[in-house]
Amino acid sequence: MTMIVAMCRTFRDRALDRCFHCFPCLSDPAWRSSLGLKVALVMLHLIYAGILFLFDSDLIEKTKKEPWYTALYLLLFFATLVQYFITSGSSPGYVLDAMRAVNETNVMYKKSSTASKQPASSKNGSLIVTIEGSQTGRNFQGSNPASWTKLVMDMYPPGTSIRAFSCFYCNVEQPPRAKHCHDCDKCVLQFDHHCVWLGTCIGQGNHCKFWWYICEETALCLWTGILYITYLKANISRAWWKDAIMILLLIAMAISIIFLLLLLLFHSYLVLTNQTTYELVRRRRIPYLSIYHLESLPSAQELEEKSRPYTCLDVLTCRCC
């Protein structure tokens, strides 16, 4: 018996090694977990829609009479899945990518400035004209990281230490509203949260896509719930095992609808108020949100002017107000 178990384990390990050799991405546990969640979500959608069309004969008859109704439902179904994969595959906007883009722009600007300063001769070769490059734009030092540092430091109040906004994990300077995600192991611009179901962070680059996905998913669940309730009203006593399956699925869907509606309202509020989940939850711990600008004390001359009694002219000029 022990020999059989050992042989099974050896066969399993060899099969996994071959699979990892053919698909190197599967060797990453985080990537496997994300892929498993994606497959589970797609299967969940297919189960809900498949059981509905399998059990509800009235819906099939309605489809034959009014095909546009089912066509709209299927269009929303596939649009939701497409939006899900678009959102999960989109970049939230990483700080390293932004820094790389700034440095590449600085290199191109430096090359163009150097080329524009080269002497250009006229057609007869007797006159040399020097063309000075344009001095507009920011003066960065090529691909030197100091250019990114200067750009980030300009976003903070004067006198802020560089250590206050440097990431200890990525060793980069974080602009305001950026945060390091420990799941992605990267700093994300305008970090909102890390979505487990999508397998990616939600940030500046994909928050809009995420909102549209929630909106489409909520609409799809509401429509599917209405179809389930319509079926149960018309066929509640025909087959008890079908009713039991539909009721269990409907209860799970009702919980999902409540969660999705609350999530949609919450992120709609965040979008309208220009906030993120991280900023709303950790407002008191975020340095750039806890800085209060205190008014300066009035001078002696201002105090003297405010202390003298009001005259009729002051009342007419509204100085007393």
Instruction: Give backbone dihedrals phi and psi of 131, rounded to 5 degrees, phi first.
Output: -105, 115
CB 147 within 8 A of CB 137: no
Could you confirm whether 208 is annotated as catalytic?
Answer: no
Catalytic residue among 181, 187, 195, 221, which? 195
Distance CA 59, CA 246 (A): 15
| Count of C-beta atoms within a 10 Å radius of residue 203 | 30
| Whole-number Å distance between alpha carbons of 268 and 42 | 25
Tokens matching residue 39: 């497959």
| 111: CB partners within 8 A, 6+ apart | none
Please list the active-site residues.
195
